[in-house]
Chains A and B, each alone.
Chain A
Amino acid sequence: MKRFFIATLLLAGGSAHASTPEQRGFQVFRQICSSCHSLNYVTYSDLTGLGVSVPDIKSYASQHQVPDGLDEDGDPKTRPAHPSDHIGSPYPSESMARMANHGGLPPDFSRLALTQEGGPQRIIHILKSYTAPPAGTKLPLGAFYNTAMPHLHIAMPQPLHDGQVKYADGTTATIPQMANDVTAFLNWTARPHLKARHQTGIFVLAYLAGLAVLLGILKRRVWKRLKSPE
């Protein structure tokens, strides 16, 4: 039995190679999106929920520097991030983020799939709707042509290009593929415990359903005493 569990654990751990859309999406986030977008409420160790291994999480975290108080001279110090730190923003402050993006603030990714009107489908649609503007189109400064937007332009430059990411599992990184994957990742950040939620729910409902049947029988038996003459 113990061996069975260990084998299952190894299989689950080994799934980093046969990667899921969420894991591929994380790779897209890590290599592309995270250069502008923040994940302010997600910690590095939360990524275990995606099946990312602990050593991978540690090495990912240690590539980032986080503020660490002041040194003896009163100058700000930094240290490599721990797995328990928030992934946070690539910019040191909101004003820096705005300065780097023509005054716009790249939205935080933590709950974007939930708060974005139209949800995940809309995100995929926006990511796939970059085309060359028709001749003679005048775009405002810092805006890019995107047919999904009501005014046909968006402040985000086209983020995805074919073959931009080399997927660990060998999947071809086309724009639609990456858009789907990164949205699966965003859906996970917005609803981090969805799988555990559904699994727990099935057990709870099954238990309650069984209990309801038993209580139904008990109730009928008890109330029968009233109807039959004593």
Chain B
Amino acid sequence: MEENRILEMRGIEKSFPGVRALRGVDFSLNKGEIHALMGENGAGKSTLIKVLTGVYSKDNGKISMPGAEDIQIHSPQDAQNAGISTVYQEITLCPNLTVAENMYIGRGKGVITNWKKMNEDANKILRSLDIPATATQQLASCSIAVQQMVAIARAVDMDCKVLILDEPTSSLDEQEVEKLFGLMRDLKSRGVGIIFVTHFLDQVYAVCDRITVLRDGTLVGEYAIADLPRVELVAKMLGKEMDDLADIKGESAGYQGDIVDDVVFEAEGLQSDAGIKPFNFYIKKGEVNGFTGLLGSGRSECVRAIFGADRILGGKVKMHGKEVKIAKPLDAMKNGIAYLPEDRKIDGIVGDLSVRDNIILALQVLTGFFKPFSKAKAQAFAEEYIKKLNIKTASADTPIKSLSGGNQQKVILARWLLMHPEYLILDEPTRGIDVGTKVDIQKLVLELAGEGMSVTFISSETDEMLRTCSRLVVMRDRKTVGELSGDDLSQNKIMETIAGGEG
């Protein structure tokens, strides 16, 4: 092991039934270093972290720390004993206890607690780390950032050599993030090695020394921060080389013909309580556009705001130039807006209900509480769309939860198509479904646009968006940072815009 190394992981393998989550991943961490672990969802970041913290046990590979070749970590307790501590995205402390109690909970050796000493010790650590909290304060009375810091202080006091911060900044505002960075730099100067997992590119470049990029369970590479410009980082995360995608552009050219200059929907300074900055947006009749950006950039939050799915805090919304009020989903539906949500299981399907009830749900609600469809009519609707979208189900009576993911998604799509919306929003309609269905859905989107429907299409796979959209709104860190159309619609340009000017 090299000098200065504090942790080395070699050839880590981990499989779950049907998935190889990690394939021979290497990772190393130096003393006094902040090391970013990057990758899109499903890249294997969390699996690697969980192997390191003993939540999962690895199938193969070696973990070494100074003075201990090939250490075995089988439980979080083992990890802690080895000096590896983790602070998670959600605070895992007890908000109803005091700061000091939270720092020492579960660590006492005897049954008797010396409260005075505990509080004094806690205060000493808090002061030394410059954390604005006192030992006897109730944790819940601290801000989220300070709670996060207390969790870190707890980890530090447990004599940790390796500190893992798993998306610690996702619920913090800018100033709080700055405070947290201060603490991280402080720990770094004391020789702690920090593994920093985040989706925010700016933050990576603000505090980190090195970056390890994972994709699809494999190691893409390890880079010094100075050697990896943002654009390349984005390219490495998405798995696209800068120049190999020019040919895709041609496919989408044919679908821009029949766009009429009628602005169907327009939003000005729209803002919701989901944490996005106010944004402007419009879509024309027969247009297919999309929001793009990395995960957590706020693309879903934008379309949720359009549909009134989150609480609207401000902004003006117009349909065909006339101002309308959209405060809740029903308002949007009445204005002819349909929304297929990102998370099919949580926001989409009504699991125990039949395919038929799931298909008619939105139109039924729109029709009214006192006007239920007759059974025959509902059945006819269901059968029409089961045939149209080629949904594979035993019958219209089958509970939707027993269908495959792709077919469930088609049912939800059928639900909204049945409403004959003017404006259809599809948030990740192709996630987690088979390739055949993905192509079906993309074709359908273009077909619908050809008939004059306006469609907003969001997908993590940029290829899909390039193939379907004629205009892309680019998002970074919860605000819109650019808009691309025409010749600018290329993988390279998208990545440049996502990465920001400094690339």
Binding between chains A and B: no
By a beta-carbon cutoff of 8 Å, the part of chain B in contact with chain A is: none
